[in-house]
Chains A and B, each alone.
Chain A
Amino acid sequence: MRTYLIRRLLTFIPSMLVVYTLVFGIIHATPGNPWDTGNKPFPPQVLLNLEAKYHVNDPLWKQYVDYLVGIVTRFDFGPSFKRGDTANEVIARFLPVSVQLGLLAFALAFVAGVLLGSLSAVRHNTWIDRLAMFGAVFGISTPSYVFITVLIVVVAIQLRWVPTGGWGGLFDTRVIIPVLALALAPTAAIARYTRASILEVLGMDYIRTARAKGLRNWVVLSRHSLPNALIPVVTVAGVALADLITGSFFVEAIYQVPGIGRYFVTTVQDKDYPVLMAVTLMYATIIWFTNFFVDVLYSVLDPRVRLT
């Protein structure tokens, strides 16, 4: 187990190097420079000054090495090309908001998804099942920007229960709309996976044995079927978690949440390469570690899985 963990952790380094190289390559293969995005072009001298300031005219290999060395030795992703702060500051300032919001949305999605899925499975082919699964299809197929817009119009503008946007931490009413919008799709996905997985498990011999022992229904469900049924759900949930804590462009942009999600899109539009590189590596790191933990969690949930 320990050697597995160490071996596995070491693969983090080449993975990130590949991501870094790919992003670097794509950035430099993109035509145009970061400052010719506006419709009124900067005067040539201004461009020269900007290029000199941000060292974008150094030879490519030098930029590749310098930047990588900066990241590895100083954990320095460089100054933003557009904003007044550094890429590190952008992440330090906005990632925590997305993480808090994402964790809350994830908790909601996981609990609600597993509950709905279990209920559907137990009440298989009843109106409860059909209603829940209709809800799940609705949830999967409704984009977050549609759902959040409807929530804002109804809950914020018409009913005036919560503000139309903003962020005040986890214990503020302004958390409600973005959490619901973020949680909708993963709730639906988790519900469907849970249902399918429980239905499969409920057909197993050992469940029949458990019932034959005279155990009550909820004991069979909670102690015997759920732990086994949750293994595939954990995989889905892991991906959903990584997705949620890195924020959503739509939810954050529409509800004015100061999170990191918007920067995945805006940095591309702005050609703000240092911030783009930083958020991409951050996302890759989070995905990598989520996968890692899901693998480890397998061995906990399923004794047959041995990590060697």
Chain B
Amino acid sequence: MEMSKQTARRSTPSGGPLATMLFASVLDRRRFFGTAVKLALAPALAQALAMGSVGRALAQAPAPDQTLRLAYTNPVTAFDTGREGGSPELHLLLFDGLTFYNWETHITEPVIATSWDYDPTTLTYIFHLRDDVKWTTGTPVTAADFEWTWKRNLSPELASPNVSFLGYIKNGVAYNAGNAAATDVGVTAIDDRTLQVVMEDPTPFFPMITSLWPFFPLPRTVIESVGDDKWMEPGNIQSAGPFFFETWDHDQTMVFRRNPNYWGKQPTLERVIYRLYENAQKQALAGYEADELDLASVPPPEADRVLGDSRLSAEVVHWPESRNWQLRIDHRNPDTVLKNVNVRKALYLAIDRDLIVKQLLKGQGIPSLNFVPPDIPGNNPAAALPGGPAEAKQYLETAGYPGGKGFPGFKLGFVPTQAESVLVTQAIVQMWKDVLNINVDLLPVPTDWRTRIRTEPYDMYYGGWGSDYLDPNDWHNVIFEGDYWQSHYSDPTYLDMIKKANIEPDPDLRNQKFAAAEAYLIKDQMVTIPLFFGATTWVQKPWVRNLRIAPLNTYIDSRDAWIGAH
């Protein structure tokens, strides 16, 4: 998916740069006073440190109040599992999928499905379901609930944007377009415990994507009685996950409470309270510093202050994000100097990624020399082209521009409102000037420029791509086969590689094939110039335990979290 939550929505007036500046300047003074106080209190502090071991021992025990306080950007889209385009963070508290994809082990774990079989000749999956999963009303969750929900989410009347996920099912796309009936869709409940799914095309990653929110079973009776827009209200909703939805003060708070009838492991947390912000990524830090929140993201403009603050810096945590920022190239443009692969390799090697990440992004990124992020199976760090500035100069010479002589230049497009895009692109242009002695022009473009370059030729632009789901096909096939970047890259060797990799049923072999395709894409062809993977910086109270932040859409997974005594 393009762009992050951090940048996509109304970044302008609410808590914008001015507010941030004010926070920063006022708090600088506070830090000064803080230091003075600390010096005066040094003896007392030493004593407190000696007692710290006692404190740590206590912190191992759960606190009596198991309440986790988080921030969330106010949902402005319909709060509906079937239609939600952004984050599964809240849905995961309320619902389980057939599977759960563990991004640390790369294993698709069984959840409501205990196991599944696949018949490659008929492209049919049979999911075997648990018999102890219950709605909050006590009635069991059955295969029929899945069948009904998937068809509901695909129905043209609901007009859900999540069709791309469900569209892998046979006739899913056709039904959504009004060209097939609901009964033609390839999902059928054979009995209460058996769900049969027929695919449109071979889709080896299908069990993995059933871990995503559009596949969660929804309460049919509620939706049929109160309609598509009101069923998620706490007074209406029936759920089947580790928590239930207790209250929703619109635009203010959402409270989730532990579900005592949950079939699985009971969460330790009693309540998760979400405070709703206009932009949680930018605004939550204030609430964290006033001890009203247990976790807050650190926006880049605040990073220096937070990392320099003795108390806050001890509470900083970093999490990787399933995202890569890169320079994208028009491979159909016959007039650009970038059609020369040696030029592209020179540009790739002349960039100092460490400097960008450290100085410009304040550590909120990981230098990337390959294309697919580390949390995705089939990613290949060996796809990197080896070398440095010296090799970059050689490649430029091979391309026919020794010492940058005669280099015609090109235009590097960027969307100025995108986070950090101005800084990053300026730095890159300067690096190319310093290392290769070439001049590249910056071209600020509006957001709708992307629509225009479907037909208009261009040279290069800066962009970020975040995973929609954790499969390499969301990178290779969606981006280049689907031409989502308007790279217009039509190399038959590469396209053949990724098409074959995508339908390979053996998971290990499939990953190997994607890894080989990535090496061809970067090391050999330098189709796109990767810059850095995403990473997010947060501050987390020391008493919060076992909380994880997923790389996909950077959602907070608090299901196993608990509060230590403090």
Contacts and interface: CB of A to CB of B under 8 A. Distances in A.
A269 B10 contact: yes
Contacts of A153: 22-23, 26-27, 286
A44 B441 CA distance: 34
B79 A84 contact: yes
A279 to B, nearest CB: 14
B339 interface: no
Interface in A22-44: 32, 36, 38-43
B250 A258 contact: yes
Given A256-B275, A258-B252, A270-B76, A164 B23 contact: no
Report the interface size class on chain B.
35 or more
A145 B291 CA distance: 22
Residue among B18, B251, B253 with max Cβ neighbours from chain A (10 Å):
B251
Interface stretch (A3-11, A117-125, A247-255, A280-288): A247-255
The residue in B2, B80, B228, B290 that gathers the most chain A C-beta atoms within 10 A of its C-beta is: B290
B289 A166 contact: no
A266 B23 CA distance: 24
Interface string A43-60: 101101110110000000
Nearest to B14: A253
Interface stretch (A129-137, A155-163, A229-237, A290-298): A155-163
A265 to B, nearest CB: 7
B140 interface: no
A145 B15 CA distance: 8
Interface stretch (B152-160, B406-414, B499-507): B152-160
B443 to A, nearest CB: 17
Contact of A158 (B1, B18, B30): B30
Given A45-B177, A94-B251, A160-B290, A154 B3 contact: no
A256 B292 CA distance: 13
B2 A39 contact: yes
B292 A164 contact: yes
Interface in B122-142: none
A32 B157 CA distance: 22
Interface stretch (B113-121, B276-284, B316-324, B368-376): B276-284
Contacts of A39: 2-3, 8, 447, 450
Interface string A260-286: 001001100110000000000000000
B249 A262 contact: no
A53 B292 CA distance: 41
Contacts of B289: 157, 164
Contact of A83 (B77, B173, B252): B77
Contacts of B448: 32, 36
Contacts of B286: 152-153, 156-157, 164-165
A184 B10 CA distance: 26
B252 A150 contact: no
A302 interface: no
B1 A46 contact: no
Contacts of A165: 275, 277, 283, 286-287
Nearest to A267: B76
B3 A250 contact: no
A137 to B, nearest CB: 20
A1 B256 CA distance: 57
B13 A163 contact: no
Contacts of A224: none
Contact of A254 (B26, B228, B283): B283
B483 interface: no
A266 B73 CA distance: 13
Nearest to B24: A153
Interface in B146-171: 156-161, 163-164
B185 interface: no
Given A46-B160, A49-B159, A265-B13, A256 B250 contact: no
B544 to A, nearest CB: 19
A146 interface: yes
A248 to B, nearest CB: 11
Contact of A164 (B76, B173, B278, B290): B290
Nearest to B465: A40
B451 interface: yes
B78 A82 contact: yes
A154 B26 contact: yes
Interface in B1-59: 1-3, 8, 10, 13-15, 18-19, 22-23, 26-27, 30
Given A83-B76, A83-B77, A49 B156 contact: yes
Interface in A77-115: 79, 82-85, 93-94
B292 A253 contact: no
Interface in A136-192: 145-146, 149-150, 152-154, 156-158, 160, 163-167
B13 A250 contact: yes
B8 A250 contact: no
B163 A45 contact: yes
B99 interface: no
A196 to B, nearest CB: 32
B277 A256 contact: yes
A210 to B, nearest CB: 49
11 contacts: A49-B159, A84-B77, A84-B80, A85-B229, A94-B251, A145-B13, A145-B18, A156-B286, A250-B14, A253-B13, A254-B19
Interface of A: 32, 36, 38-43, 45-46, 48-50, 52-53, 79, 82-85, 93-94, 145-146, 149-150, 152-154, 156-158, 160, 163-167, 249-250, 253-254, 256, 258, 262, 265-266, 269-270
